Amino acid sequence: MPGKVPVVLDVDTGIDDALALLYACASPELELLAVTCIGGNVDARQVAENTRAVLELAGRKDVPVVLGRERPLVKRLETSTETHGPRGLGYAELSPASRPIEPDDAADRIIAVARERPGEVLLVTLGPLTNLAVALEREPTLPRLLGGYVLMGGVFGAPGNTTPTSEWNIHVDPHAAKQVFARWAMPGEQTTALPLAMGLDVTERARFLPEQLRHLAVRAGALPLDAAAAGTEPVRAIGSVAANPMLRFLVDALRFYFEFHAKYDGFYGAFIHDPFAVAAAIDRSLVRTQPTFVDVEIGSGLGHAMTVGDFRGLLRRPPNVDVAREADADRFMDRFIDRVGGFAARAPGAAR
């Protein structure tokens, strides 16, 4: 579609990936070409099921969903069901998807769309970087074929969320992340746009609280009293909120996420990392970045899976990643509420 940015999302669909999918579907700037799946929050086949179900909830049955590699390059797969629920979507229940998984492979699909539209396609990875690492092995010129690359991953000046030094997506497959960053560090790749890394330093500034969920429900057309129940502790889906399939999904998924963060992070709400990464991919004015040489520690010990940014330039290496250092979380949150709430108001089954 003229004027739209063609995008491929690579996901490990748990709760915040699902929110990112809805945000992408609600964003008029994007042409969603495909969604590729990798194991992370849950195993890869459950990711593919979740992804197709969320896309069908969004009325986007047309978007192809492609299964990728089912395990990391070297490590055994770790999943995070305590964060996202046994099937990855918290307490939410969605009907099984009707569209089958595509017959090809995620890495091949990423390469194919980049070759079909060289210099145009924006790749956004919201999970471990395994599919991209495999794609780079098969097509080393992929950085020059893509129109841009954004990842949600890493932590550069804040505590980790998996170990004291590591972020979840990088921790699941640090060897893949190391290969990806090394590819952009190779001579000649500095002429291409650097990947934008949205690490925990900035994504954890986007705290989605019950009050924001209430505002989203109001934007979606819920009755004030029903919307108020979505803004309580615990959040509840009643009346017009429960009757809107997308709002019901959001409340049921986020209730689980809120409970997890209340237990482990000390607040009843959630960090919504992945939608923030999609929003920054669309609008770079949401972030302030620093071009930096980045590598990943793959050894054992406390530094395992740590993303190391050489912000002082001590290594005298050319930058290979554009690291987000500051972000306008308030502006993103307002945009998320407006877009996803408005999308829910137009969703099939929403009250008119």
Ordered by start, the domain boundaries in the chain are 5-206+274-335, 208-269
CATH number, span 5-206+274-335: 3.90.245.10
Residue 352 clears pLDDT 50, i.e. is over it:
no
pLDDT tens track for 316-348: 999 999 999 999 999 999 999 999 999 999 976
Confidence of residue 249 (pLDDT cuts 50, 70, 90): very high
pLDDT for 218: 98
pLDDT for 2: 56
Residue 187 clears pLDDT 90, i.e. is over it:
no
Least confident residue range of 38-47, 84-93, 279-288, 341-350: 341-350
pLDDT tens track for 252-264: 999 999 999 999 9
pLDDT for 325: 97
Q: What's the rounded Cα separation, in Å, for the pair 60 and 83?
A: 26
Residue 350 clears pLDDT 60, i.e. is over it:
no
Q: Which of 328, 327, 311 is nearest to 319 (CA)?
A: 311
Residue 1 clears pLDDT 50, i.e. is over it:
no
Q: Give the active site residues.
A: 273
pLDDT for 347: 78
Segment 172-198 shows an average pLDDT of: 91
Confidence of residue 70 (pLDDT cuts 50, 70, 90): very high
pLDDT for 37: 98
**286 in Cβ contact with 327 (< 8 Å):** yes
Total residues belonging to the chain: 352
What's the mean per-residue pLDDT of the chain? 96
- DSSP alpha helix (H) spans, 85-223: 106-116, 130-138, 142-145, 168-172, 174-184, 200-203, 210-219
pTM: 0.97
Token code pair at residue 122 = 């924006």
| DSSP secondary structure letters along 215-247 | HHHHHTT--HHHHHHTTSSS----HHHHHSHHH
Confidence of residue 349 (pLDDT cuts 50, 70, 90): low
Token code pair at residue 213 = 């969920």
pLDDT tens track for 76-110: 999 999 999 999 999 999 999 999 999 999 999 99
Q: What's the rounded Cα separation, in Å, for the pair 193 and 148?
A: 6
